[in-house]
């Protein structure tokens, strides 16, 4: 049994013509999408992964990037390997977008895999509080701002006479891949070969029951690790459970997912994840969208009032003191729902 790094080292010298794009390559590109390529002038012209990778590495040190989170740290290590591999280094990158504001965090990039195939990838949530606030609202609203952006992106960059397309992403990026595929213009949908949701949330009731979901279901692949916390959220009916060498929230990292040759190793959802899924679904049914929205707004107002815009800073002692001080200021109803939420996930994560 191996992992993502081992796969790249083993098959990195084979071109996509010699070895076709597969589920693991989807993970490779989903991981790389966590790196912020804003300062690489990626849209002046199409550039190879080797060119962009070297520009990125020249501007960023591992010490700097690892402070941003596990996904960025692992992506940095993966980038250093793949820019030297025949399979990946000549992949062309284009159409990079990174947008953030107080209500949204969104990033997307297109990888030209071969003359006939491209992979559109949406980044998962990074360290910004705005992105996690938006994630919380997945259970209350449709579409959230980043879903709107994802739908715009595929409708702009999937060409009727262009290449075949695979859409994917990790965490929230997986949900964006799903939703963008569902709401792509009908006359372009035939261009999409597969849609990958790598341990990202599912859909609300209404969207899950929609004809848009039914129309793409045969192309949809949803992976969750056996100790999934994120991928089991909301509604889904066809996830593939896979083995991880980590437990709990750490199994969310794609580099922990176990591989044999070029296949993810199947597993079963852990009892802990099954209980968490049941408890969260019960909690979601207990409250209406207004109650859930007020709770989410109250939770993130605590962070905003403490001047915290990055989750990296939450555990700093002076910020913990601010958070505790600000809890008393939130609405009583929101506080009750928030306490009930934490009770529902107690000892499950």
When mean pLDDT is compared across 4-8, 150-154, 308-312, the lowest value belongs to 308-312
Instruction: Between 110 and 345, name the one with better pLDDT.
Output: 110
Q: Angle 257-258-261 (CA atoms, 0-180°, nearest 5)?
A: 130
Give ranges for CATH 3.40.50 in the chain.
4-270
Average of per-residue pLDDT across 308-324: 52
Task: Report the percentage of the chain scoring pLDDT > 90.
Answer: 56
What is the pLDDT at residue 131? Answer: 61
Residue 310: pLDDT band by 50, 70, 90 thresholds?
low
Higher pLDDT, 163 or 57: 57
Asked if pLDDT for residue 35 goes beyond 60, the answer is yes
Confidence of residue 267 (pLDDT cuts 50, 70, 90): very high
- Report the SS3 class of residue 199: coil
Cα-Cα-Cα-Cα torsion 16, 20, 26, 27, nearest 10 degrees, comes to -80
pLDDT in tens, 219-228: 999 999 999 9
Higher pLDDT: 218 or 161? It is: 218
Lowest mean pLDDT among 35-49, 83-97, 127-141: 127-141
- Give tens-digit pLDDT for 271-296: 999 998 888 888 888 888 888 888 77
Please report, rounded to a whole number, the percentage of residues in the chain having pLDDT higher than 70.
87
Rounded-to-integer distance, Cα 331 and Cα 342, Å? 17
Does the pLDDT at position 96 exceed 90? Answer: yes
Pairing of strands 117-122, 104-114: antiparallel
Query: Has residue 344 got a pLDDT over 80?
Result: no
4-270 has which CATH code? 3.40.50
Find the radius of gyration of the CA atoms of the chain.
20
Coil, strand or helix at 132: helix
Query: pLDDT tier at 12 (50, 70, 90 boundaries)?
Result: very high
- Pick the more confident residue, 347 or 199: 199
Give pLDDT, residue 44: 57
Would you call 289 helix, strand, or coil by DSSP? helix
Residue 315: the pLDDT is 47
User: Which pLDDT band, with edges at 50, 70 and 90, does 320 fall under?
Assistant: very low
Mean pLDDT of the region 155-174? 92
The confidence band for 126, taking pLDDT boundaries of 50, 70 and 90, is: low
Q: Measure the CA–CA gap between 80 and 15, rounded to whole angstroms.
A: 18
Q: Which two tokens stand for residue 204?
A: 């609300």
pTM of the model as a whole: 0.90
Q: Which of 8-12, 123-127, 206-210, 274-278 has the lowest mean pLDDT?
A: 123-127
The total of other beta-carbon atoms located within 10 Å of residue 10's CB is 13
Out of 108-112, 115-119, 150-154, 324-328, which region has the weakest mean confidence (pLDDT)?
A: 324-328
The whole-chain average pLDDT of the chain stands at 86
The model's confidence at residue 211, banded by pLDDT at 50, 70 and 90, is: very high
Average the pLDDT over each of 47-61, 281-295, 300-314 and give the range with the smallest value.
Answer: 300-314
């Amino acid at each position: 049994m191996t992992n993502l790094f081992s796969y790249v080292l083993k098959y990195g010298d084979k071109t996509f013509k010699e070895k076709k794009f597969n589920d693991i390559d989807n993970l490779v590109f989903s991981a790389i999408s966590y790196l912020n390529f804003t300062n690489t002038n990626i849209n002046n012209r199409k550039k190879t992964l080797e060119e962009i990778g070297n520009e990125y590495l020249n501007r960023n040190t591992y010490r700097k990037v690892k402070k941003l989170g596990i996904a960025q740290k692992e992506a940095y290590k993966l980038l250093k390997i793949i820019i030297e591999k025949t399979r990946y280094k000549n992949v062309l990158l284009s159409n990079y977008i990174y947008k953030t504001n107080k209500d949204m965090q969104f990033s997307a990039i297109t990888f030209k895999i071969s003359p006939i195939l491209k992979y559109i990838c949406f980044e998962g949530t990074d360290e910004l509080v705005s992105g996690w606030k938006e994630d919380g609202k997945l259970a209350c609203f449709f579409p959230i701002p980043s879903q709107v952006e994802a739908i715009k992106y595929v409708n702009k960059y999937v060409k009727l006479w262009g290449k075949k397309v695979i859409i994917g992403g990790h965490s929230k990026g997986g949900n964006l891949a799903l939703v963008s595929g569902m709401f792509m213009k009908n006359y372009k949908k035939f261009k999409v070969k597969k849609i990958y949701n790598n341990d990202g949330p599912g859909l609300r009731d209404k969207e899950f029951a929609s004809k848009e979901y039914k129309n793409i279901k045969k192309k949809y692949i949803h992976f969750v690790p056996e100790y999934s916390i994120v991928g089991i959220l909301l509604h889904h009916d066809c996830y593939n459970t896979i083995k991880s060498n980590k437990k709990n929230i750490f199994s969310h990292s794609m580099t922990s997912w176990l591989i044999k040759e070029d296949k993810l190793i199947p597993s079963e959802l852990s009892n802990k994840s099954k209980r968490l899924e049941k408890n969260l679904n019960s909690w979601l049914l207990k409250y209406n969208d207004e109650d859930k929205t007020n709770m989410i707004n109250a939770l993130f107002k605590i962070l905003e009032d403490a001047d915290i815009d990055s989750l990296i800073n939450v555990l700093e002692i002076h910020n913990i003191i601010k958070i505790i001080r600000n809890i008393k200021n939130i609405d009583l109803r929101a506080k009750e729902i928030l306490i009930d939420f934490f009770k529902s996930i107690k000892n499950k994560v």
